[in-house]
Amino acid sequence: MALSESQIPPDAQHYLVCGTEDCERNCQFYCNDCHQPMCEQCRDEHQKNKKPKNHEVVPYKQRKRQLPVEKCKIHPTKEMVILCEECQIPLCYKCTTTREHRGHVFTDLEMVFDEKVSLCQEEIAKIRNYFEPTSQDLKKDIAGDVKEIKKIMEGLRTSMKAEAEAVKKLINTVTSDNIEQVDKIEQSVLETLYGQNQNIDDYINYLNDLIKTFYGYLSPSNIEQLTCALNSENLIIRPIPETSKPVLPVFTAGQYSKEDVVKLLGRITVPNIKPENRKIKPMETVSTQLKPTGKQSKQDKEKSEVKQILSLSPSVTKVREYKVPGVNGVFHISLGKSGRLWVSGTLGNLVQTDLQGNQLQKIQTSGGYGYHTVTQDGDLIYTDRDNNVINRITPGNTITEFIKTRDRRPLSIHSSYINGDILVGTRKDNEGKVTRYNKAGTEIQNIQRDNKGQELYSQPRYITENINGDVCVSDYNKHAVVVVDKSGRHRFSYTGQGSEFEPYGICTDVLGHILVCDSISETVYLLDRDGQFLSLLLTSQQGLKWPRSVCVDDENNLWVGQWLSNTVTVYKYLQ
């Protein structure tokens, strides 16, 4: 099921189509009077007509929300378009004449509705960018605790089993010793009893022999012998041998309780400590932009930490200098990963060197000025202005066609360090434009006119992005540095210090400064993020000649390329 416009999240990157019949171009503007989205061409046609000539046409993001049609309950044929400020209820025009609302103050309901919608969007943005992500972070913390507690509990179980096994082993040892002792006692007692039994057997044999002797005396022929025998000591019968009952061992059962076993094996206890509440990060200013990725958040944190300890140095110091072979002038610099430097000259040569100035690659192109950039992934992308395309060079040196700019000539390009978007400055006839593409090369934004419908650009030769998302363009036909915010709204244009100004290379640093080359004064200007002039950072006094290109590296050093020279000089200006 398709979502209505009101259901689409305000921070979603969705493709809006012009509302004019049979027009399928990208919507950029909105007529607040007609409540119709429209493309640039349809807007121009709309404003040419006499009737809507005075209509308020604004960039789409600045549109007023159309008031839903709702009939008055008292006057069903009328629509509710007025808000009674005292009663705080919507009314139709006819209701304003009734006795109940006589003398009351009324407000345009559409204006109130637009304000309420904006407030709702702000709350939605807060939910999306703070409350929901923070809740998700808490869920991750809880999941981490679940995983950790399972690991800890499994460790406790293992320790308990090991302790029990040790006790079992000790019990088995004691039991074996007791059984062995019982065996020895049994053997000793049995030997004693067997000896007593043998004595009794010998005594019984003695008695049997004695009986036989006495029977012999009873024979009549042995009367004399009998008489002698009766007077003989032989009539004395030996006494029965003594025997004794064995003393049996007694097993005394161990005296123990469950508590004794607990003491032996250990006990599990939960500390009587109040659980510590999970920390919830404070809600700072919530923008309507999408939440940055984990990688971007880490980069922002690192930049913020650097920003806290950096400031402008009282003087600028030259750090080192390179000679770049294969170019007749350094019109643009892009710093890549692993100490790689891309430089372009006026003849279209695109050269890659290491930091010792050794040439690694050389490509013949139809570019010039600020027409190449290195992406977050380390790829080089550059404009082919003759064929109206943008090419990509991967680390394997494979060149592929990345983006087509159709009927517009691409002049400058920049890969965002914030979100990886690609910013491209193009020109058609005498009109310049900046187009934003995502990392996949899909067009997502066009920036061409200010809030009054005036052209922002003529020749956007150099382009960069500031730490707050501002898009900064160096346009020497306009004799200005033109800066818009991330939504495309014009913030300011810097046109020099009263004298003639012709800007070339432009870049920004971790403090939000804007650094731009001026070909008239042959200097590098330093501006703050709001376009206020701070200083002439580099002049001929620092040995500078014909500066045309600038960029700042990860160590916050400024790289400057010069016209009519293949020299790149590195300066330290922050401390």
Please provide the average confidence, as pLDDT, over all residues in the chain.
85
Q: Against a cut of 0.75, is the pTM above it?
A: no
For the cut 50, the answer to whether the pLDDT of residue 285 exceeds it is no
Report the C-alpha gap between 22 and 18 in whole angstroms. 9
For the cut 70, the answer to whether the pLDDT of residue 9 exceeds it is no
Contacts of 321 (CB under 8 A, 6+ apart): 567, 568, 569, 570
Q: What is the DSSP letter of 22?
A: T
Tokens standing for 166?
């040790």
Tokens standing for 47?
């404003």
Query: At 423, phi and psi to the nearest 5?
Result: -100, 125
Tokens standing for 551?
């960029």
Spatial contact of 79 and 70, defined as CB atoms under 8 Å apart: yes
Q: Which residues pair with 517 in a beta bridge?
A: 524
- CA-CA distances (angstroms) from residue 571 to 320, 334, 417, 558? 7, 16, 22, 5
Average pLDDT value for residue range 438-465: 92
For the cut 70, the answer to whether the pLDDT of residue 113 exceeds it is yes
Average pLDDT value for residue range 108-129: 84
Question: In this predicted model, what pLDDT tens digit does every residue of 259-283 receive, in sequence order?
Answer: 888 887 778 877 788 888 888 877 7
Spatial contact of 564 and 526, defined as CB atoms under 8 Å apart: no
The residue that leads in pLDDT, 149 or 68, is 149
Long-range contacts of 61-70 (CB under 8 A, 24+ apart): 61/487, 61/488, 61/489, 62/30, 62/451, 62/489, 63/30, 63/32, 63/37, 64/32, 64/35, 64/110, 64/111, 64/114, 65/110, 65/113, 65/114, 65/117, 66/35, 66/110, 67/109, 67/110, 67/113, 68/113
Split at pLDDT 50, 70, 90, the class of 411 is very high
- Residue 233's CB: how many other CB atoms inside 10 A? 6
- CA-CA distances (angstroms) from residue 163 to 169, 172, 201, 436, 561? 10, 14, 57, 66, 73
Tokens standing for 423?
């910013």
Nearest to 327 by CA among 357, 353, 347, 355: 347
Q: Which helix (H) or strand (E) holds 192?
A: helix 132-217
For the cut 70, the answer to whether the pLDDT of residue 481 exceeds it is yes
Spatial contact of 229 and 217, defined as CB atoms under 8 Å apart: yes
Question: In this predicted model, what pLDDT tens digit does every residue of 52-73 receive, in sequence order?
Answer: 667 888 888 777 777 788 899 9
